[in-house]
Amino acid sequence: MPLKSSRILLIVGGGIAAYKALDLVRRLRERGASVRAVLTQAGAQFVTPLSLAALSGQSVHQDLFSLTDEAEMGHIELSRDADLVIVAPATADLLAKAANGLANDLASTLLLATDKRVLAAPAMNLRMWLHPATRRNVATLRGDGMLFVGPDDGEMACGEYGPGRMAEPLTIVAAAEAALKTQTAIPLPLGVGVRPGATDLPLKGRRVVITSGPTHEPIDPVRYIANRSSGKQGHAIARAAAAAGAEVVLISGPVSVPDPVGVAVTHVETAREMLAAVEGALPADVYIGAAAVADWRVGSAQAQKLKKGASAPPALGLVENPDILATVAGRKSGRPGLVVGFAAETNDVIAHAQQKLARKGCDLIVANDVSPATGVMGGDRNTVHLVGPTGVESWPDLPKDEVAARLVAHLGKLLSGAP
């Protein structure tokens, strides 16, 4: 959606940077967006509700329990009646509340209740920004899908120098524009929030088996071979498939992302355990191999810890793992109607994916460039190409949630026989 016709909910937290939020309102409105502002109690120490109301042209919301506000627009409606939520300045306190799901004032309640993307522009003292607690909170929020712009390095109001200055209003506007381009409501898990009888569930009645994350292949009891897969993309697909009405079985390698709600999850470590879990979960209508399965394992993993000794370092003696995707795609009986693989490539992405499609006998390959410069492995965004037998469809750079939602919609169409 273009910024021009968008509705922005702007949450102004308490920090010296709040004065820049006033300019942000102007910049957004100049570009045709409508802005509804929420001012925290601390924010009101820095800017007045009157300035925000005058600049936004709308009344300013401050109180969770305001009878007048609730009569006009309840806080749930306020959180949904926007295309994007911007938090500027996003203070350490607001981020901590959001990361922990607290809802003890209007701003934190809105952040918990919204079904839209949230773009945060942090602003705080550099030690607060660099504190491990804030680092943890930001990492959690990124994992939950929150978008960030800034903070910038610079001179602080307190006289110190470093990261913590809020991004400039025009930079926030550019980030908002980018966020709106890929804006969709964040899906809820299976059956939740869905009206009985809803018909817009593209995977309703379908069983979907998905693998996600890396595998760990033991060398000895304390060491293993692994890869950089985070499981974010596979888990996002599991959430999206459940939200689209499917019965989802997720078979996950060792990851630190949480189990999706409304999905049956089996945790495994090795490629061979993953294959056994997949075979146990079939039959299914759709198989999606999003896991980065280790191609090799150590032929004879040691039962006891390998010790450094006088002799040369041990040779690992790798042997090939079973190819789970090719095994599922090649099943003589009980092959899922749609078998979808991923291709993690660092060069010639589409050509390699086309070869993989043929070699593994699957119906669709989701190809992505996982070169370190792309930040895909472990990151929150992905640029994929859908490689099928009849052609290639390339999608723009998107949040992994959005890739998941689009993929699920695409699979729904394929299953219904649509062209």
Please identify, using beta-carbon distances, which residue of 109 and 321 lies nearer to ligand CTP.
Answer: 321
Q: What is the largest CA-CA distance in the chain?
A: 80
Kindly give the residue spans of alpha helices, DSSP state H, lying in 12-143: 18-30, 49-56, 67-72, 75-80, 92-100, 106-113, 126-130, 132-143
- Active-site residue, 158 included: yes
> Which residue has 């949040």 as its token pair?
399
Q: For residues 176 and 338, which CB has a smaller minimum distance to ligand CTP in the complex?
A: 338
Q: Indicate which residue of 54, 73, 130, 158 is catalytic.
A: 158
For residue 37, what is the enclosing H or E element? strand 34-39
Long-range contacts, 216-219 (Cβ 8 Å, 24+)? 216/253, 216/254, 216/269, 216/270, 216/294, 217/270, 217/271, 217/294, 217/296, 217/297, 217/298, 217/301, 217/321, 218/269, 218/270, 218/297, 218/298, 218/301, 219/298, 219/301, 219/302, 219/306, 219/316
- Smallest gap from Cβ 220 to ligand CTP, in A, equals 22
Shortest spacing between CB 273 and ligand CTP, in angstroms: 12
> Minimal distance in Å, beta carbon 121 to ligand CTP?
37
Pick the closer one to ligand CTP by CB: 144 or 295. 295
CB count in 10 Å sphere of residue 77: 12
By the criterion CB under 6 A, which residues form the site for ligand CTP? 211, 271, 289, 291-293, 295, 321, 323-325, 341-344, 356
Tokens of 73: 């627009």
Specify the residue, 27 or 216, whose C-beta has the smaller distance to ligand CTP: 216
Provide, rounded to whole angstroms, the least separation between the CB of residue 402 and ligand CTP: 20
State which residue, 40 or 321, has the beta carbon closest to ligand CTP: 321
Q: Minimum distance from CB of 333 to ligand CTP (Å)?
A: 19
Q: Which residues are catalytic?
A: 158
